[in-house]
Each structure stands twice: as C-alpha cells, then as structure tokens.
Chains A and B, each alone.
Chain A
Amino acid sequence: MQIIDVLFWGWIIQATLTLGTPLVLAGLGGMFSERSGVVNIALEGMMLMGAWAAVAASWYTDNPWTGVFAAIISGLILGAVHGVISVKLKGNQIVSGTGIILFAAGFTTLMLWVIWGTAGASGQVITLPEVRVPIIGLVSPLTFAMLALIPICWYLLYRTPFGLRLRAAGEDPSTLDTAGISVENYRMYGVLISGMLAAIAGAQMSIGFGSRFTIGMTAGNGFLALAAMIFGNWNPIGTLFAGLFFGFLQAISYGVQFAPGWEWLIGYSSFINMIPYISVIVALGIIRRSVPPKAIGVPYIKEKQV
C-alpha cells in the first residue's frame, strides 16, 4: 500500500465524518419529531437558519461557541413556530414545513444583505477549534458531540419514561391521552428537540467545516437528513449509519476529482450523489424495510368529553 493511498483513505474518513455529521444530527432531530407524530420536512429551513445564526453571532462576538448557542436559539424558535401551527393549531404539518423552508431561505438571504451588504456570502468568521486525530486529521468538535449523542438519544428514547411517552404520542396517541398525559406537550417537546438538533447541524455546516455563510448553503442536506432518518428506520443507530453512509458517498464524489486511479468516475459523480435518494425510495417502497410511526402526520384532536 502506497503512502498516497493511506493519505487518500484518511482524507475519505475525515470527509465522511465531516459531511456526515450534519446529516446525522439533523436526522436525529427529524427522528424525535417524527417519533412523536409530527412530520418535519422543515429540517432544511431549520438547518439554514441555524447556519446563518451561528455565523451572525460569531461575527459579532468573535466566539464560535456563542454561534452554536445562537443556532440552538434560532432552531428552538422555528421549532416552536412549527409546533404551534401543527400541534396546537392542528394545521397541516407539511404546509407548515414548506412555509418554514421558504421563510428561512428568504430571511437568511435578506439578513446577508443587512449585515454584510453582499448578495452571495458572509464575511469570514472564526471556526470551531478542531481536534487533531492521528491518520484522519482535523475533526470538528461537533462530530464528537454527534457521536456522543447517539447513545444518549438511544437511552432517552428507549429506556426513559420520557422516551416511552414520546413514542406513544406517535404510535398510539389516544392511549397516551387515556393515561392522562398530554399528547400535545410531548409532540411539542419532539418538535423543539428537532429544531435544536437541526440548527446545530446547520452550525456544523457554516462554522464547523466552513467559515462563512453562503446563500442556500444547506442545498438539500435537510432532505438528505430526512432520507437518512427513514433509511435508518427512525432509530438513532440506524440514523448514524445511514447518515455516515450518505456522507461517505458525498466524500467519494468529491474525492474522485483528485484521487489517482479514480479519474474514470469523474463524469459520473452525479450518479454517486443520487444513490442516497434512490436507496430511500428502494427502502421505503420496494423492500419495505422502513416502517414509519403509525399516527404520523395526523393532528391529535381530543375527543369531546360527554
């Protein structure tokens, strides 16, 4: 094995982790929301807003950690909007998500004008301090946070009363309601956690491996995260592997452009990028391995008391 191969595979692992982190984080977010019974296609908008908030806050304070904090706040706000419309007001969850995506795309571009006076990209900000790992290279701290979150989320979802109630809100809300627990509250928690995680994923894209915000920088990664969650069958460990697999495919499609012996793939990198979407269609429709929560997408309306 030549030294160039070691370097190349080290780079591929680094890129997989870096590109996979936002997918896994946002996918975990989507999982919490969908497990509680609320479809969250707004992940894309929440990620974009988080990416912008992270850059804006670190621009004003020169500290990337306030950026992460600001991203969390922005995610909570958008999550609250989605929750109020789709849980409290029983609106259509997909329409609400579409509205949030449109709003986030417009608002972040507008704020790019207001803060930096440019149409394309923000000013450069300090990135999160990266950690050096042997062979692999520099890794963002949010990647470690993501890896640590997987067991935490698994424990929260499957071994605590909170997780049981959250899953019940998505599978069988009327039973949860009969037990005297508010379905609305647990769905709100799910959507709020979802907004928070999606916004951290956005922060990873803007101040984790880049150092600026550009228009529409999430570029479909929110939907890819949704795909990772579905491909991972709505559970944290599946989401981790699906997200890293999609990140690996992205890394390959970048990597073939400079890797020796891979030149013949350059013209087909579009097809490598298509694999995640095709695999979701296959998983959902053809082999039917992925099974969504039963009560997903249906607003829960309490039966009238007699």
Chain B
Amino acid sequence: MTDSSKDLESEMGGSPPKTMDGSMTTFLGSMWEQITGFFKWHNLRRSLIQVGWAIMSIILALLVASLIMLGTGFNPIVAFSTLIGGALLQPDIIFWWATPLILTGLSVALAFRAGLFNIGAEGQLYMGSMAAAIVGFMAMLPIFVHPLLALLIGAVVGGLWAFVPAILKAYRGAHEVVTTMMMTYIAVPYFTTWLAAGPLRDPTLIQPQPQTPAIWPTAYLPELFGSFYLHFGFIIGILCVIGVWILLKNTVLGYEMRAVGLNEPAAEAAGINPKKMIVISLFLSGCLAGLGGAVEILGYYHRFYAGWSRGLGFDGITVAVLGANSPMGVLLGAIFFGFLRAGAIPMQTVGRVPAEMIDVIQGLVVLFVAAPKIVEWLAKREISWAQWIRKEPMKSLPIFLGSLFALIGSMILLAMAASMFGTLMVLDLIPDLPTLILTDPYMAMHVATLSLAIIFGVIGLYVFYALLRLEKRAIWAFLPLSIVLIILGVVNTLIFGGSLLIPLLVIGILGFVFAIWSYIVVVRQGVIFGGEF
C-alpha cells in the first residue's frame, strides 16, 4: 500500500467497504453498523453542527428578507404567518413540491461528492421529462410496465444528456460547469420547445402554448392519500435518497467516487480510475435529474408543456447546497423549500405579499450557505453568549435583552423611514425637496424625522452587531436609542397622525429599562467583555 493511499484512508475516515463482493449477510451487517454508527456521539455531533449551520443560514436569510419587506412596504409578520398557515393547511402540496426537488437535489449532491458541479440539472430534467412523455403517449403498454418503462427511459435520457459533458470533462478537460450549462440552454428553450411546438405538437389542441399529446392513463403514477397533487413519485424520491445513501456509504463504487472528489491525485495513486468515476457519477447524476422530470410528467402534468418546470433543476442546486450534499440533508432541504413554495400562493392571495419573495429568500439562503465563515462566526458567538448566560445570568441577561431591543427597535425605525420615504415618492416630491424644506416647516419636520429614523436605525443594527462581537462600548448606545424611539413615537402620532405610538413607546420604555439595568450591572459589578469565554 502506497503512502498516498494511506493518506486517502485517513482523509476518508476508514478503509473501503468490502460489501459488494461479500455475501448478503455481511452486507446487512455493515448496513446495521452504519445505522448504529449514525447515532454514535461523534457522527451525531457532526450532523448536528451541519443542521445548525443550515438553520443559521435560513434564519439570517429570513432576517434580511424581513428587512427587504419592511423597506418595500410589506409586513413580514403577516407574510410569514400566512406562509406558514397556508402551507400547513395543505401538507400534500408541500410534499408534491418537494418530490422533484429531492431528485434534482440528489443529482447535484451526488455529482458534488465526486468533485463535480452539475449546474445543468435543469436540462437533464427537461430531457428526462420529454422522453417520459414520449413513451407515455406513443407506446401502448399494460399498467405497471408502462410507467416503469417511461421512468427508466426518462432517467437514461437525462443521464445521456449529462454523459456528453462527462466525456468532455474526463477525456478533454472541458469544465463541466460551462458544458452542462450550455447543454441546458440547448435543451430547455430550444430543443424540447421545438419538439413540443413542431413534430410532437398535440394536433387536437388550439392553445398557443407548445405541448405534446396527453400520455395514456396506463402510464399514470398512482396518487397518494387521495390527494390531487401528491403522487407515487414522492415514494420514488425517498427510495432514491436511501439508494444514494447506500451507494455513497456502503459500496466500493461510492467510496471510489468520494475519493476522487476529495483528492483526485491520491485516488489515482491508490489505483482508482478518476476518468471512469467522473463519467459514472455525472451519468448517475443526470439519471436522477431525468427521473425527477419523468415522475412529475407521469404523476401530475400528464403531458409535456414547454417551460413547465420554471427552474426545478436550479432549485436542486439550492437544495443540495443547503443539505450539505448529503442524501438526508437533501431530503430535509427539499421539504423545506417545498414548504416555502406551498406557502407562497396563500402568502400572495391572503397576505398580499408577492410570491416572488420566496425566490428572494431562496437566493439569500444560497448566498449565506456559500459563505460558511459568516455562519461559523455567528455560531461561535451564539455559543459563547449561551455559555455566558448559563454561567452568570444576572450579569449577561440585561445586556442580551438590550441587544435584542436594539435589533427590534432598529427594524421598526427602518420600516418607519421606508414608509415615510414611500410617501415622498408617491407624492413625487423628491425632485423639489431642497426648496420645500426651506419653505415648509411641516416638510422640514418630515425630512428631519426621516433622517433621524434612518440614522438611529443603522446605529441600532450596529449596536446589535457590536454586542455579538462582545464590544463593551456598544451598551452606551442603548439610552440614546431608546430616547429616540420614544420621541419618534410621540412625533409620529401627534404631528403626522401615525399609528406607531404604542409599539414605539413600549419598545422605547423597555429599552430604557434595559439600558439603566445594564449600566448598573456594568458599573457595580464590573462585567468584563471578551477574552473570558
């Protein structure tokens, strides 16, 4: 055994599994070890940290999304309550949305474990769905055989669409990010649309949207629990999660794929053929994406519409990234995004917040996950705060509550500034603002309040950030912040007839109390910040 293969083993945390050439009993025994191993403290702790990071990213994304909503004049509390309520009323829609996301997420995650970025899952999904639709309406086959054949062919065609970039990557060195993306643009707006509009167009329909004929009912996937949306594809998705998990953890192939992904030269020195692994893993990845398209056609749409998916393949990247490229993470991530999608329509119809807010949240989640250092830093701060609160509750609590007050207060101030700015914008007063300020005392008051709200809103945000960094000086900003909150509440109500008096007064007075309390604690008991955790 060479040195580099020893390096590889220590990097991978164990020797390769020897299950595929062993008997069934050793295979089951090794699976049992894997399952019990999952609950061993070390592994559990690692997965808990992963989950914690994902949750932190989601929370940060929701916070920034709330700020955007406040800035654009929507109420985040209404938005989130209608989103959550609406999604919980129709749980079948959550899992219906999650079904293709599980498969495309697995597709991206599997390729990523082999060190490849399959950014073109969207194209493979379209090719797979087109192939499944063609088998669905052209072939006359008995029940059971028909959907199985359509799924198989859909998966294989999806895989073949990824096969071209795989060959080019392995043997010609063309970067897979570029080639899979180009293959997607060939497939989605041009090739499948041309097929659905030209040779395969349903001749009996007069709708302008390109679409193929409907598939035969023998090819339908059965519904689950009598739901209109949820179909057997969800079970297929779960089976694929388990399958990919076993593939990655328990088979020689999965071990070799992960080895190539972690350290290609070492893998090659250990006798693994990286080119073969690149081709196999991208092909399997394309198969999963194609299967994702096929189950949606057979289970719900029942025919191919040009442009039916609107980015399920790209959402797969989000799901895989959020799920840290592990099969279980992908399952949870897909259900989370399914939840957001299911709640988007109630949020728009009941809460009057555009459904596009979900896309904004999704982009923000990806951005926060892309920069693990932000989340890592925040997690460390959270842990040190939690330790401090447990150790010395009487000293830490007022400062902790004070920082929360600074955050909430600054959000209210920013929202107020945004709505006042919106008034100016609607009345079209911005171009001649300089003259208005000099001539009209009411306008001058308006602008002064606006600027005060912006300045102290930003200060409040900074105070929250500084207290996370355990900077002691920040607590001196509590008092001015609370006083400004109270003053602005009074001004807003008495002069402009606003309705923010009660919330601003409550927050302001609470902030005042926390400010005095933390000053007493700091002065009397000499709290030392930083260094001690």
Supposing A226-B178, A278-B186 touch, asked if A91 and B372 sit within 8 A by C-beta, the answer is yes
Given contacts A91-B370, A230-B178, contact A102 B356 (CB under 8 A): no
CB-CB under 8 A from B318, the residues of chain A are: 98, 102
B356–A95 contact, CB under 8 A? no
A227 to B184, CA, bound (A): 13
B366 in contact with A281 (CB, 8 Å): no
Task: Tell me whether A7 is interfacial, beta carbon within 8 Å.
Answer: no
Minimum Cβ distance to chain B for residue A291 (Å): 9
Per the 8 Å Cβ criterion, residues 205-227 of A in contact with B are 219-220, 223-224, 226-227
A273 proximity list for chain B (CB < 8 A): 189-190
Q: By the criterion CB–CB under 8 Å, are B362 and A106 in contact?
A: yes
Cross-chain contact A85 with B370 (CB below 8 angstroms): yes
A50-82 contacts to B, CB under 8 A, are: 60-61, 81
Say yes or no: B191 contacts A99, CB within 8 Å.
Answer: no
A74-116, CB under 8 A of B: which get 1 and which 0?
A: 0000000100111001111011101111111111011101100
Assess the A89–B182 pair: CB atoms within 8 A. no
Within 8 A of B (CB), among A255-291: 267, 270-271, 273-274, 277-278, 280-281, 284-286, 288
Give the Cβ gap from B200 to chain A, nearest Cβ, in Å: 13
Is B191 a contact partner of A41 (Cβ separation < 8 A)?
Answer: no
List of A residues within 8 angstroms of B314 by Cβ: 98, 101-102
**A105-B359, A109-B359 known; A284-B373 Cβ under 8 A:** no
For residue A95, which residues in chain B have a CB less than 8 angstroms away from its CB?
317, 321, 366, 369-370
B185 touches A285 (CB 8 A): no
Nearest CB in chain B to that of A114: its residue: B72
A39 is an interface residue with CB less than 8 A from chain B: yes
Task: Say yes or no: B317 contacts A106, CB within 8 Å.
Answer: no
A275 to chain B, nearest CB (A): 10
Tell me, in angstroms, the Cα distance from A277 to B190 when the chains sit together: 11
Instruction: Check A99 against B370 for contact (C-beta < 8 Å).
Output: yes
What's the dominant secondary structure at chain B's contact region? Answer: helix
B503 interface hit (Cβ, 8 Å): no
> Is the CB–CB distance between B168 and A284 below 8 Å?
yes
> Is A103's CB under 8 angstroms from B360's CB?
yes
One of B99-107, B169-177, B450-458 at the interface? B169-177
Quick check: B190 and A98 within 8 Å, CB to CB? no
Say whether A285 contacts B371, CB under 8 Å.
no
On whether the beta carbons of B72 and A220 are closer than 8 Å, the reply is no
Q: Within 8 Å CB of A123, what residues of B?
A: none
- With both chains docked as a complex, state the minimum distance between the C-beta of B368 and any C-beta of chain A, in angstroms: 8
A292 interface contact, C-beta 8 A: yes
Of A101, A106, A111, most buried by chain B (CB within 10 Å of CB) is: A106
CB contacts (< 8 Å) of A105 on chain B: these are 359, 363
Task: List 6 A-B pairs, Cβ < 8 Å.
Answer: A94-B117, A103-B364, A223-B182, A273-B189, A278-B186, A285-B174
A contacts, CB < 8 Å to B: 39, 41, 60-61, 81, 84-86, 89-92, 94-96, 98-107, 109-111, 113-114, 219-220, 223-224, 226-227, 230, 267, 270-271, 273-274, 277-278, 280-281, 284-286, 288, 292
Q: Which 4 A-B pairs have the closest CB atoms?
A: A106-B359, A103-B363, A99-B366, A285-B168
Instruction: Give chain B's interface residues, CB within 8 Å of chain A.
Output: 68, 72-73, 117, 119, 164, 168, 172-175, 177-179, 181-183, 185-186, 189-191, 193-194, 198, 314, 317-318, 321, 354, 356-367, 369-374, 425, 430-431
